[in-house]
Amino acid sequence: MPPETDPPDRAAAFEAERGRLTGLAYRMLGSMTDAEDVVQDAWLRWDGATRQDISKPGAYLSRIVTRLCLDRLKQARHRREVYVGPWLPEPVLSDPAAAGEPDLMVEKDISYALMLALERLSPLERAAFILYDIFDMPFGEIATVLGRGEQACRQLASRARAHIRKSRPRFKVPPDEADSVAAAFFAASKSGDLNALGRLLAENAELHSDGGGRKLAALNVIYGARKVARFYAGLARKPAYRPPLWSRRMRINGLPANLTIEADGSRQVTLVELDGSTVVSVYLVCNPDKIEPLWRQLGEPGAG
């Protein structure tokens, strides 16, 4: 079979795949910074490949990126075990109107519910699910990528799918309605309005706050609508509390989100996951290492 690309066209062929590869690596690793590093490593291997290796650029590059991610996941597991407080994925812009971005296949799910569910899978389950369910790769090719039999890969994806199905919201809500509920929640959380928060939060609501030991944040996930509401009411009632200096609404990881610069100059991102018309999960990211790439991309106040 003749190759689909010749060496002089390698750069263009790679760039045509970059967005897809970055989306694959991000879902595997939960970090856009690490994903971009992996894609760069893939480019070095691609640039040095022989013509016989690149008869199918997409399949070849997917195999390289997946294997590089599997290697990195071994290191990431250890880092997550010693991480201070809850770990959350690096937030990724999914609002095309806000700034230019690579095609990460954001029309596919990159919600925090999915990303955290992926964290609970084995690396091979994670890879099989992402390659088949999100990137539509045939199991024959997945078997080559993972070095497992085709039937084994089917079983890996099936187990992953069963775990992930449990974590997805049961009821989808139209974007306009979701934005309206989110706006009401952001206003209520800012004011500490217990009654409004009680109406907006699902009974089993959760609050995940990721400071990574760099910024003050709850060291454990807060469970239950009452405790989440009291958390925000307590913040609003602190004598030293002052409202954010700046805020902007947009969609991050496919979810309604609020970016803020707090009174002390620190930056944070708050995302909300809805099930129907109630908030089931709140994700508060204030770890500077995770926020800085997003802030630079947006060119917002205080971007480094």
Question: Mean pLDDT, 10 residues at a time, over the chain (304 residues)?
Answer: 53 89 94 93 86 74 94 83 90 67 57 91 95 92 93 96 81 84 96 95 96 91 97 90 90 93 92 94 95 82 58
Q: What pairing do the DSSP bridges indicate for beta strands 278-285 and 201-210?
A: parallel
List all residues 6 or more positions away from 227 whose beta carbon is below 8 Å from its beta carbon: 207
State whether residue 108 is helix, strand or coil: coil
Give the chain's radius of gyration (CA, Å): 21
Task: Pull the structure tokens for residue 84.
Answer: 């201070």
The DSSP letter of residue 69 is H
d(CA 252, CA 285): 11
Which stretch of DSSP H or E encloses residue 156? helix 150-167
CATH number of the domain at 175-298, please? 3.10.450.50
- CATH 3.10.450.50 range(s) for the chain read 175-298
Sheet containing 222-223, strands listed edge to edge, beginning at the edge strand earlier in sequence: 222-223, 201-210, 278-285, 267-275, 255-261, 246-252
pTM of the model: 0.87
d(CA 39, CA 105): 16
Give the pLDDT confidence score for residue 207 in this predicted structure: 97
Give the pLDDT confidence score for residue 141 in this predicted structure: 92
Q: How far is C-alpha 10 from the chain's CA centre? A: 29
